[in-house]
Amino acid sequence: MHVLSRTFICNVMHDIVHVFSRKFICNVMHDIVHVLSRTFICNVMYDIVHVLSRTFICNVMYDIVHVLSRKFICNVMHDIVHVFSRKCICYVMHDIVHVLSRTFICNVMYDIVHVLSRTFICNVMYDIVHVLSRTFICNVIYNIVHVLSRTFICNVMYDIVHVLSRTFICNVMYDIVHVLSRTFICNVMYDIVHVLSRTFICNVMYDIVHVLSRTFICNVMYDIVHVLSRTFICNVIYNIVHVLSRTFICNVMYDIVHVLSRTFICNVMYDIVHVLSRTFICNVIYNIVHVLRRTFIS
């Protein structure tokens, strides 16, 4: 890689995909996974990362995206998912996480974000969503949750937050919202709820709270508000309500209460107040009222 230069490798990859056709490459990849076994591939990935160093891999990824263009990569991803079937991809992801260990993956993610810069990642995300279509992404998310099991995903989330540090995650969220624009994020959220069904999302929320523990979630919320600033959060809420419509949000809330049970939600609220302190919550509410205006809330 060092001798040939990353740009040269990117160009070769670009030509291979154009000459062979993406479907052919997907079929080859599909056979490789089935013949070699997913565990073997995970071990190879693990060794590659350890030998090459995570920073080097990040730089390669950075160059690949710049040379190949984000739209091209999105099309390849789109075909891979269609040829492999979402269930097959979920199984591969499941094995990768088990073999590599969640902490290791968190460290890689941490380095990728630091090397590539958060704005760059946001732009990639923006293009992926536009090219693949939001409904397609929702279906992938739906299958991932069903195959991997919600508890498993919760554990991964738990480790990611611990390894990356909550403040770091807040900064990434802050940049994502700024680059993608709040209206765009609202539209994605709107589609996700429609495709996944509100009851399904409620069940996921229920498991997340049980696995992560309510105190842990409160601490994350506390840090998010401190890093992002309450005014910023208010603006996001304001846009979400405008794009999604209040009736839609009310229906989601209605389902959440029915699926999670009001006693459960009360316990969560009770813990939030104890961990965050009532004064802190009052200040947040105070800012929300000022940004949204009382007439808008009513």
Is the same domain home to 178 and 258?
A: yes
Look at the chain and report how many structural domains it folds into.
2
User: Looking at the domain assignment, is residue 235 inside a domain?
Assistant: yes
Angstrom distance (rounded) from CA 160 to CA 179 = 23
Of 97 and 262, which is predicted with more confidence? Answer: 262
Confidence category of residue 36, pLDDT binned at 50, 70, 90:
confident
CA 154 to chain centroid, in Å, comes to 13
- Nearest CA to 66 out of 147, 146, 9 is that of 9
User: Looking at the domain assignment, is residue 147 inside a domain?
Assistant: no
User: Looking at the domain assignment, is residue 165 inside a domain?
Assistant: yes
The predicted model scores a pTM of: 0.64
| Whether residue 295 has pLDDT greater than 60 | no
Angstrom distance (rounded) from CA 290 to CA 283 = 11
User: Looking at the domain assignment, is residue 279 inside a domain?
Assistant: yes
| Whether residue 298 has pLDDT greater than 60 | no
- The predicted model gives 203-232 an average pLDDT of 78
Side chain identity, residue 61: M
Confidence category of residue 127, pLDDT binned at 50, 70, 90:
confident
User: Looking at the domain assignment, is residue 137 inside a domain?
Assistant: no
Angstrom distance (rounded) from CA 262 to CA 250 = 15
Is the same domain home to 63 and 168?
A: no
Is the same domain home to 195 and 245?
A: yes
Q: What's the N-to-C CA distance of the chain in angstroms? A: 61
Task: Domain of residue 254: give its range.
Answer: 156-298
